[in-house]
Amino acid sequence: MPSPYRALFGHPGTKSFSAAGLLGRMPLSMMGIGIVTMVSQLTGRYGLAGALSATIALSAAALGPQISRLVDRHGQRRVLRPATLVSLAAVAGLLLSAQQRWADWTLFVFAACVGCVPSVGSMIRARWADIHRGSPRELHTAYAWESIVDETCFIFGPILSIGLSTAWFPEAGPLLAAGFLAVGVFWLTAQRATEPVPQSRGQHAKGSALRSRGLQVLVVTFVATGAIFGAVDVVTVAFAEEEGHKAAASLVLAVYALGSCVAGAVFGLLHLKGHASRRWVVGVCAMAVSMVPLQLAGSLPVLAVALFIAGLSIAPTMVTTMALVEEHVPRTQLTEGMTWTSTGLAVGVALGSSAAGWVVDAFGAGRGYLVPGVAGALAAVVAFAGYRRLRPRPAVPGAPPVAGHHGHGGRDAPAEKQDEGSAA
């Protein structure tokens, strides 16, 4: 392991909570596709399967920030365990109702409750931020590592979920995802030494973290970015089916995640200068441009190469996004702020999947890649329009320093102080 990553895990407890975070995040890539596979096998109704998957995604998008707000106020252990038990009970009800062919409305009720699942990735990043507060280089490496973990989940999760549901029994994929969630969350919350200490009630910022103008830009941009991911997934499956190799779609999408994983590993080794907002805009624009070659892919091998290249811009952009969230959101709302970006992605994935499915049905898979292309262009437009909100604010001559929320001088810190922490 390269030295920055080796040093990263020199702190006590970091290996354990990172491993727990890996298990706890596996359902992110397994549950939705597992539900689709299960329901389509049991009922043959792909429309119902897709609607249930979208219900879970939208429910998680609505409930996730609220759970994270409670975490910021009361701590991870007190909030995550009850929320996870609710989600696990809902998964059990969904599997049972699908297997027993209960009325469709019962499936949707349970699917909506599954969305109570906590944002485990935000919990892990909050622990890294607490450990490396005031150490931007180490935090940059930590966020890069977490992006690698995210992509690892998306490489292996769908393969596990689809493979088990088709090889064993239809409920196997979602059942394993629920097992990962239970083990990951309860293992994570058992590690009290690295859990961020909740601030006293008087120190909590009023209102939602989404009141931050900078966070608003990040979330809206991530809605468009999520639409890229959702559309690419759907269109790639359709494209592979038209080519007569539908099973190869999971491998092609794994190559997409692999590109991001490789880029994240390299990005974590770099010590970059300049403010993070500039790198973020460049990353979003690179994601948009990378969608253009997909329109020209005429075969699965060419598509795999194009997606690998497209994936190279994902992890660096995500890493930079987390650094900007930390900069623009008060420390007492950091977990909630990070979860809002995940919410934006989830909403975007649902919208992108729906739009791509409609385009594929109407015009074929070849035209389907226009959807992520348009989504990428929208993301770039929003990023450019909101760039001014993300730039460091100049210091006011003679003004006293503003109390920071994580030791970097806060949102109103002088530009040179912000640049000092820009590597994060």
Q: Which of 174, 249, 267, 235 is nearest to 358 (CA)?
A: 235
Taking CB atoms within 8 Å and a gap of at least 24, the contacts of 265-269 are 265/144, 265/148, 267/144, 267/147, 267/315, 267/316, 267/319, 268/4, 268/5, 268/140, 268/141, 268/143, 268/144, 268/145, 268/148, 268/319, 269/2, 269/4, 269/141
Indicate if the alpha-carbon torsion angle 370, 281, 339, 253 is positive or negative: positive
Q: Are 34 and 159 contacting, i.e. CB atoms less than 8 angstroms apart?
A: no
Domain of 355?
Answer: 209-393+406-424
Task: Please tell me the distance from the alpha carbon of residue 97 to that of residue 109, in angstroms, as a whole number.
Answer: 10
Shared-domain flag, residues 290 and 266:
yes
Distances (CA, A) of 366 to 170, 305, 359, 381: 31, 17, 10, 25
Q: Which of 193, 223, 239 is the last residue of a domain?
A: 193
> What is the phi-psi region of residue 14: left when phi exceeds 0, alpha when psi lies from -120 to 50, beta otherwise?
alpha
pLDDT at 334: 73
Rounded to 10 degrees, the C-alpha dihedral 254/46/55/127 comes to -20
Task: List, in order, residues 6 or more apart from 176 with CB less than 8 Å away.
Answer: 30, 34, 160, 161, 164
Residues 36, 30 contacting (CB under 8 angstroms): no
Note whether 23 and 133 are same-domain residues: yes
At 353-399, the pLDDT tens digits run 778 878 887 888 778 889 999 999 999 999 988 878 777 654 333 33
pLDDT at residue number 167: 79
Average pLDDT over residues 395-420: 34
412 within a domain of the structure (yes/no): yes
Query: How many domains is the chain partitioned into structurally?
Result: 2
Residue with the bigger pLDDT between 413 and 181: it is 181
> In terms of Cα–Cα distance, which of 222, 225, 278, 256 is closest to 415?
278
Q: What share of the chain is helix, strand, coil (3-state, %, to 5)?
A: 80, 0, 20
Please tell me the distance from the alpha carbon of residue 68 to that of residue 74, in angstroms, as a whole number: 10
Taking the CA of residue 166 as centre, how many other CA atoms within 13 Å lie in the half-sphere pointing to its CB?
Answer: 11
Share of the chain above pLDDT 70, in %: 87
* Residue 155 confidence (pLDDT): 77
Residue 251: what are its φ and ψ, rounded to 5°? Answer: -70, -40
Range picked from 158-167, 195-204, 326-335 for highest mean pLDDT: 158-167
Domain match, 225 and 137 both? no
Band of the pLDDT at 413, cuts 50, 70, 90?
A: very low
Q: Quote the Cα angle for 346-349-351, to 5°.
A: 110
In this structure, which amino acid lies at residue 111? A
Instruction: Find all residues with CB under 8 Å of 192, minimum gap 6, and list them.
Output: 77
Average pLDDT, the chain: 79
Model confidence band, residue 287 (pLDDT cutoffs 50, 70, 90): very high
Nearest residue to 383 (alpha-carbon basis) of 309, 279, 230: 279
The answer to whether residue 118 is domain-embedded is: yes
Task: Return d(Cα 293, Cα 306) in angstroms, integer.
Answer: 6
In three-state secondary structure terms, 424 is coil
Q: Which pLDDT tens digit goes with each residue over 30-75? A: 887 788 778 877 877 766 777 787 788 888 878 888 888 888 788 8
Q: Encode 26-43: b = buried (16+ Cβ within 10 Å), e = exposed.
A: bbbbbbbbbbbbbbbebb
Residue 201 binned pLDDT confidence (cut-offs 50, 70, 90): low
Q: Is residue 291 part of a domain?
A: yes
Residue 163 inside a domain? The answer is yes
Q: Locate tokens 């990070």: which residue? A: 338
CB atoms within 10 A of CB 3: 9
**Mean pLDDT, range 144-151, rounded to an integer:** 82
Residue type, 312: L
Q: Are 271 and 123 members of one domain? A: no
The string of DSSP codes covering 10-49 is: TSTTHHHHHHHHHHHHHHHHHHHHHHHHHHHHHH--HHHH
Residue bearing tokens 């109570």: 116
Segment 87-133, tens digit of pLDDT = 999 999 999 998 888 888 999 999 989 888 888 888 898 888 888 87
- Same domain for 185 and 253? no
**Once rounded to an integer, what is the mean pLDDT over residues 224-228?**
90
Q: Is 120 left (phi over 0), alpha (psi -120 to 50) or beta?
A: alpha
Report how far apart, in Å, the C-alpha atoms of 226 and of each of 231, 275, 298, 344, 417 are: 8, 24, 25, 7, 32
d(CA 338, CA 154): 19
**Position 1 in a domain:** no
pLDDT of residue 43: 79
Q: Is residue 120 part of a domain?
A: yes
Q: Say if residue 107 is in the same domain as residue 225.
A: no
**Among candidate residues 224, 217, 220, the one with its CA nearest the CA of residue 352:** 224
Looking at the fold, whether 113 and 224 belong to one and the same domain comes out as no
- 212 confidence band (pLDDT: 50, 70, 90): confident
Answer whether residue 2 is part of any domain: no
- Out of 127, 160, 193, a domain closes at 193
Residue 203 has what pLDDT?
A: 52
Q: Judge if 224 and 362 occupy the same domain.
A: yes
| Inter-helix orientation angle 14-43/76-99, to 10° | 20
Q: Are 97 and 55 found together in one domain? A: yes
